[in-house]
Each structure stands twice: as structure tokens, then as C-alpha cells.
Amino acid sequence: MAIFHSEDGVELAHEEGLVIALVPSQQDLERALQVVEVTLSEHEHSEPGICGQLVLHPRIGVRDLTAWANEHDLANRRISVHLAEDANLELDAQRRFDVFREALDWARRTQAAVAGEGDPMGTP
């Protein structure tokens, strides 16, 4: 389970190459982006495939979110923006870490199978 901590006023967690910042309001969006960028740059060379996610509270309007993401060139910075499914941002982020871990485990098993070291389905 990822542990969130406050960094420059932004709730942030980093685990297995994924950095997630919780964004409770529109005013926190720019600061959260900056914290994620700094964290990604600190771990860039130590963890392949590292990426970031901003998890936004559902009350934040999504009308301008795509334009904001394009304006900040997030796709090329390995950062994505997600609207939380409910008001509990930390729970939503934990689900995202779980999905990320499952995908990472599958990728590792597949890579091992391709190298002749095992079965991608994880069966003995």
C-alpha cells in the first residue's frame, strides 16, 4: 500500500515507478504538477517506465482539463490527469496503484517468459 505524505503542500505517494499527487481543488493543480515533475526528475534514471498521475477531486470541472493537459504537454512529460471516481482521493489513488502493480507484474512475467524464464500467466 502506497503511503501518502505532504510535499510542498501536496499529498504525494511514489511506489514502483508511479508517482501520484492528490489534487483536491483547482487551485492546487499547478503546484501538484510541479511536485510530480520534480519527483519524476529525481527518479528518472533509477526506475524505468516511471510516470506520474494527478488524481483530481470530482468537483474540479473537466471542461478545460484536456486543454490544460495539452497546454502543459503532459503526454510528453509522462504525466496523466484523472478525475477521481469519488470524493475519497486517497482511496481512488490506492486503486490506481493496485492496477499499476498488476500491470507491472504482468509485464515482468511476460518479459521473463520471452526470455525463457517462466510463464507469463504465472502458473508453475
pLDDT of residue 123: 57
**78: region left, alpha or beta (phi > 0 left; psi from -120 to 50 alpha):** left
Q: What is the DSSP letter of 24?
A: -
Q: For residue range 101-121, list pLDDT tens digits in order.
A: 888 888 888 888 888 866 656
C-alpha closest to that of 46 among 17, 18, 15: 17
β-pair type (18-23, 10-15): antiparallel
Q: For residue range 53-83, list pLDDT tens digits in order.
A: 999 998 886 667 788 888 889 988 889 998 8
Give the start-to-end residue ranges of the domains of the chain. Answer: 5-114
With residue 91 as reference, give the H or E element that holds it. Answer: helix 89-114
Q: For residue range 38-51, list pLDDT tens digits in order.
A: 988 887 665 666 88
